[in-house]
Each structure stands twice: as C-alpha cells, then as structure tokens.
Amino acid sequence: MNQVVRVADTSLQDSDRLANLAEDVIRRALAAGASQAEVSASIDTGLSVNVRLGEVETVEHTRDRGFGLTVYFGQRKGSASTADLQPDSLQATIEQACAIARYTEADAFAGLADASRMATEFPDLDLYHPWDLDVEQAIALGIEVEQGGRAVDGITNSDGASVSAGQSISVYANSHGFVGRERGTRHGLSVALIAGDDEGMQRDYWYESVRDARRFGDAGAIGLKAAERTVARLGARRLTTRQAPVLFAPEVARSLIGHLIGAVSGGSLYRKASFLVDHAGKQILPEWFAIDERPHLKAGLASSAFDAEGTATADSALVAGGVLQRYILGSYSARKLGLQSTGNAGGVHNLIVRTGEDDFTGMLRRLGTGLLVTEAMGQGVSVITGDYSRGVSGFWVENGEIRFPVEEITIAANLRDLYANIVAVGNDVDHRSHVLTGSILVERMTIAGE
C-alpha cells in the first residue's frame, strides 16, 4: 500500500465558514419569528488504522460535519439538524426547527443562557496540534506498538493495534451575538494482547491519548505495557467472600469520580433521581479530600473557555474539605433548581482530584492486605440510591506486595459509605482522561467470590 495523504490545514477557513453560516442561520431564524436561536456546528476529520499480527486490517479516513439549530418561540423550543451545509438544506433545517417549536408545549425554564454570562475572553489553551501522519506511517506505527508487546514471553496472540489521528473544528453561536470557536486534536495509540498457559487465556490492553502526538514517546512501550498487564493476569483465581480494603488503580479510580459527577449533575437533581439531592454544602467525603475544576488547563482533554451554551468557564472547587461546594449545572437545570448555571452545560472541564504523597508502590503499602482493582465491568451502580456493585478483576495484595491475580469477583458498597471511607489518593495520576486522579484507597468493601 503506497497511499500517502497530505492535507493542508484549512481549520481557520473552516471555522470562519461555520461561524458565518451560524450567524446567517440565526438571523434567518429570527426573521422567521423565533425570539431566540442558537447553533452548534462542527467539522471532524481523522485517520484511523488497525493492524493485527503485523498485517493491515482497516484504514479509514473520516470527514464528518454537523449543524444543529435550536429555536425558541417564547418558551417553546424546536430543534433540527443536518450534515449538509448547502443553502437548501440549511433552509429546510430552519423551517423544521421553527415548525417543531410552534407545536411544542411551553417550558417555563427553556431559553438561552443569560446574556451576561457569555464568555468574552478566549485564551489559547494549546488544544490544536494536527498530526501530519500518512497511511504508511500509521501502519508502521501500529506494527511497532503491536511488536512491542508480542515480543514478550507469554504473549500468544493479538487482538490488534490501533493508530488514530483526529482534529475537530466547532462553533457555537446564539442570538445574544455570541460566537465561540474552538479547534482541537485528539490522537491515540492502543493495543490489545492475549496470553495463554495450561490454565487458560487472558486478555488485556493499554492505550495512550494525547492532544499533541509528540507526547507519545516510545510506541513500543505501549505494547510492552499491554503485554506486562496481560501476562500478569495468567493464573487468576477467585476469592472467598470477605470484607477487605480495596485499592482502585488510577484508570479505574476515575470511574468513582464519574459516579459522583452523575449524582451532582442537574438532570439527576431536578428529577430527584440522586442520592445526593440537597447535599450542596454538606460533608460527603473525608475532610482532606478536594476536587477542583480547571477549564483553562493548557492542553487539557476537556479544556474550554465556554460551555455548550456559551457561558464563560472558570476555575472552581467542586469539593473542598470533603464538602460538596456546588452542583454541576447548565442554564436549564439551574433554572429548574432555582440556582445559577455553573458553566457546565455539556459536562465538566478537567476535574483534578488532589493527591497525597504516595506513589503506586506507596499506595500498595498503605493497602497492606486487600484487593487491588485494575478492571471493573458491568453497570451495577445506581445514582438514585447510591448502591454500588460491580464485577472486577485485579490482584490480591498481602503486606503491601502483589501475591496473585484474581477474577470473577464482585465488590459492593453504598457510594455514601464508599466516599466517606476513602483513606488516601495516590500521586500516580492517569493523564489520559479529563478526570485526573491517582489510585484511590477505600478502607473496607464487601468482596463476593466463591
């Protein structure tokens, strides 16, 4: 395969085009009778290559466009979208959105975010680093990642390696006169490997995700990490049912923070579908625990100067001294709750869990004898009640040393108790997510096994 792709960077021109189309469509929607209007538009491009056992499986180029319009006739709302940016299609989108709004029920809480909250400063957050990667280079890189793992003793097969390079241009505009533009890139390398012995087979993986491909380092090291994780799982055992301390590895620990985000998000709160309803200002975690939102973090995976409604973002504490400082709200949920938007329409922007001084080895010592969780499966978490029950695998640890791998076990607790019984957060932070946390040690949980 000798295909070479070199595409000029047209992101600024594409951004200008989207912004001009958005402003024009908003003007036309207002002329059609809408009292307010907003547009979200994007162009996503990318290259993805998959290889397995040194051979190419798939090569995919993508260029996806989206254009969504929401109009308000008073407090009646209508939305329509298209992937076609031609004039006829945009006109049809306007007509469809307006027709829907005219026949919907009025919602007292509907409407744009407050005009006074629109972002006015747009700092360079270092989010845009296009990767000049052609197909041949991507294939070679995928083979390098996979070979880094296949060279390890005990690896018997591969589920394949993937290389992806992607960039996105987006515009949000509304009838307050706000126009916000963003450019971002996201690149990834990953591999999944299989190990086998007389007792059976195990599968594991590893990946890296970055804004700037220069941060990948040695591609073969990703394969090596995946291989080490896979081989370490050979000979996994089940445990008898017991109670014990549980240490969540960083890549699993962030899911605990994700459950907290779900429980304090506006939609769950105004529906009374959260175990943390009316908990703002209350202690929910140990006194030393803190989570900060940092929307303007340079090169952050969820950095942005504004949220999905144009509201300005700002650094803010979510948890301080173990006390829930605020909820996570866009303008609609804020109005339903009689509160103000927290600039989180569309989600959170880089949550940083404050860490302690222990690295991963130190956290194992603090665990002492208990369970290290490296993978969690299933959906057994209820944000409504706080009940937590998930299938997990990982390692049994004794006296701070990993003794043997474990699988086919379940851990259970209520999230209220789980959060209250966190005893430490490690400084072994996993940077591959917008939730930045190290490993999290919980004093005691129920472990169900044989």
According to the 3-state scheme, what is the secondary structure of 265-297?
A: EHHHHHCCCCCCCCCCCCECCCCCCCEEECCCC
What 8-state DSSP symbol labels residue 105? P
pLDDT over 90 percentage in the chain: 95
pTM: 0.93
Query: What pLDDT sits at residue 9?
Result: 84
HSE at residue 46, side-chain half, CA atoms within 13 A, is 19
Query: What pLDDT sits at residue 143?
Result: 97
Whether pLDDT at 2 is above 60: no
pLDDT digits (tens, 9 = 90+) for 32-72: 999 999 999 999 999 999 999 999 999 999 999 999 999 99
Q: Answer whether 352's CB lies under 8 Å from 436's CB.
A: yes
Q: Answer whether 77's CB lies under 8 Å from 93's CB.
A: no
Q: Answer whether 103's CB lies under 8 Å from 71's CB.
A: no
Q: Is the dihedral of CA 329, 335, 341, 345 positive or negative?
A: positive
Contacts of residue 283, Cβ cutoff 8 Å, sequence gap at least 6: 321, 322, 323
- CA 251 to chain CA centroid, nearest Å: 12
Distances (CA, A) of 21 to 167, 168, 181: 20, 17, 13
Q: Answer whether 74's CB lies under 8 Å from 98's CB.
A: no
Contacts of residue 31, Cβ cutoff 8 Å, sequence gap at least 6: none
Helix (H) or strand (E) holding 225: helix 219-232
What 8-state DSSP symbol labels residue 199? T
Contacts of residue 217, Cβ cutoff 8 Å, sequence gap at least 6: none
Query: What pLDDT sits at residue 261?
Result: 97
What single-letter amino acid sits at 296?
H
| CA distance linking residue 168 with residue 173, whole number of Å | 17
Contacts of residue 95, Cβ cutoff 8 Å, sequence gap at least 6: 32
Contacts of residue 72, Cβ cutoff 8 Å, sequence gap at least 6: 34, 35, 36, 37, 101, 110, 111, 112
pLDDT digits (tens, 9 = 90+) for 235-272: 999 999 999 999 999 999 999 999 999 999 999 999 99
Mean pLDDT for the stretch of residues 358-384: 95
The overall average pLDDT reported for the chain is 95
- pLDDT-derived band at 1 (thresholds 50, 70, 90) equals very low
Whether pLDDT at 202 is above 50: yes
Q: How many residues does the chain have?
A: 450
Whether pLDDT at 105 is above 80: yes
Q: Answer whether 179's CB lies under 8 Å from 119's CB.
A: no
- pLDDT-derived band at 6 (thresholds 50, 70, 90) equals very low
Query: What pLDDT sits at residue 378?
Result: 83
Q: Is 135 helix (H, G, I), strand (E, B) or coil?
A: helix
Q: Answer whether 63's CB lies under 8 Å from 44's CB.
A: yes
Q: Which residue has the tokens 């000029």?
A: 8
- pLDDT-derived band at 4 (thresholds 50, 70, 90) equals very low
pLDDT digits (tens, 9 = 90+) for 379-433: 889 999 999 999 999 999 999 999 999 999 999 999 999 999 999 999 999 999 9
Angle at 44 between CA 266 and CA 115, to 5 degrees: 40
Give me the phi and psi of 92, to 5 degrees please. -65, -35
Query: What pLDDT sits at residue 5?
Result: 40
